[in-house]
């Protein structure tokens, strides 16, 4: 597929501009960049429905010597070959903002050994799209149509069927609806065990948290819970303070703060990156019972009065 990427670069380069084409080899993969944006839409580019090469004479030359196939098959062939190796979906910038085309091929496997072991523990056979949907939801807290389309390169309609199928099999549950719809792992998806039909899958607090401590957590969480919208910095401060009192799981935070799980996981990732909180199971970030704990004990509690200026009106 590297040969196809090189041919694609040469036949689509705009040789009338002074900028040079660029090929970069790094430990993580390859980058191909040429002056001249794509002359067709990204959809047509990915699916091979149309072709409009900037240098048709070069296309004919490469075809005569067996280095190019039918017009429009280059990028789809590269993507297909890269994905068959189990590697991340190639990243393409068709040049909507800058007059250049970029193709990035990262040598990063989408599924680790641990991911494959976890999928096997669910006790079923999964196609590639289903595997990627479940693993992305496991690591990132959610998966949506756009993300899975980018990961697999499949058509949006096919991706919708995959997500609906996983939801119907009780492995994913829908969060929000409409354009903001996404999915997160259900209890069955996390544990791999059958959920009794009369058991609710709504988040419940940890049974190990003493009642008096839970009440204190709920009191602190009211700073966020009692307002439909708060500043991001306020939410982060409250979340860190909560995690300074006891290790908390995402479902605990959903109850305490009354915010969507996928949104809280985004905030958690920011706090993890900044070092404000850390994993309880630091050697297993994807532990099914992962909790989060503050790296430093918050010395002074927040109060509604202290943060009143941080709130946005509805």
Beta bridge partners of 293: 278
Q: Where are the domains of the chain?
A: 2-106, 113-191, 211-310
- The CATH fold assigned to 113-191 is Arc Repressor Mutant, subunit A (1.10.10)
Instruction: Give yes or no for a contact between 224 and 235, defined as CB atoms under 8 angstroms apart.
Output: yes
Q: What is the pLDDT of residue 34?
A: 93
Q: What is the pLDDT of residue 188?
A: 63
Q: Which two tokens stand for residue 146?
A: 């756009």
CATH architecture designation of domain 2-106: 2-Layer Sandwich (3.30)
Do 211-310 and 2-106 have the same topology in CATH? no
Query: How many whole angstroms separate alpha carbon 192 and alpha carbon 113?
Result: 17
Q: Which residues of 1-14 are buried (b: 16+ CB within 10 A; e: fewer)?
A: beebbbbbbbbbbb
Distance from the Cα of residue 294 to its chain's centroid = 24
Q: Which candidate, 64, 92, 65, places its Cα nearest to that of 76? A: 92
Beta bridge partners of 185: 172
**The domain made up of 211-310 is a member of CATH 3.40.50:** no
Q: What is the pLDDT of residue 132?
A: 87
pLDDT by residue, tens only, the chain of 314 residues: 788 889 889 988 999 999 999 999 988 889 999 999 988 877 777 766 677 888 989 988 988 888 876 654 678 888 778 777 777 778 888 887 789 999 988 877 777 778 888 888 887 678 888 888 898 888 888 888 888 887 777 777 888 888 988 888 888 888 766 666 788 888 765 654 433 333 344 445 555 678 888 888 988 998 898 888 889 999 999 999 999 999 998 888 988 998 888 889 899 999 999 999 999 888 887 777 789 999 875 344 444 444 433 444 33
Helices 232-245 and 261-274: crossing angle, nearest 10°?
80
């Amino acid at each position: 597929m590297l040969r196809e990427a090189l041919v694609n670069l040469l036949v689509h380069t705009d040789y009338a501009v002074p900028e040079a084409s660029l090929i970069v080899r790094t430990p993580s993969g390859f980058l191909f960049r040429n002056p001249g944006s794509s002359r067709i839409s990204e959809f047509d580019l990915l699916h091979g429905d149309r072709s409009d090469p900037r240098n048709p004479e070069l296309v004919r030359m490469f075809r005569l010597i067996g280095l190019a196939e039918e017009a429009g098959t280059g990028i789809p062939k590269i993507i297909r070959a890269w994905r068959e190796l189990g590697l991340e979906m190639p990243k393409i910038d068709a040049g909507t903002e800058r007059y250049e085309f970029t193709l990035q091929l990262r040598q990063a496997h989408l599924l680790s050994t641990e991911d494959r072991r976890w999928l096997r523990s669910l006790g079923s056979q999964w196609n590639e799209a289903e595997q990627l949907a479940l693993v992305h939801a496991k690591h990132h807290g959610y998966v949506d149509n756009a993300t899975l389309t980018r990961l697999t390169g499949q058509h949006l309609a096919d991706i919708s069927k995959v997500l609906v199928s996983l939801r119907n099999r009780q492995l994913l549950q829908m969060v929000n609806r409409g354009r903001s719809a996404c999915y997160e792992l259900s209890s069955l998806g996390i544990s791999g065990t059958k959920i009794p039909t009369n058991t609710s899958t709504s988040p419940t607090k940890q049974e190990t948290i003493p009642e008096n401590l839970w009440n204190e957590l709920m009191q602190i969480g009211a700073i966020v819970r009692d307002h439909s919208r708060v500043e991001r910095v306020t939410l982060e401060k409250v979340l860190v303070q909560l995690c300074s009192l006891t290790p908390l799981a995402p479902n605990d935070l959903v109850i305490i703060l009354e915010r969507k799980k996928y949104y809280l996981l985004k905030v958690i990732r920011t706090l993890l990156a900044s070092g404000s909180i850390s994993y309880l199971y630091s050697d297993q970030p994807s532990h099914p019972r992962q909790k989060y704990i503050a790296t430093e004990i918050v010395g002074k509690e927040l109060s509604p009065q202290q943060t009143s200026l941080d709130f946005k009106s509805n």
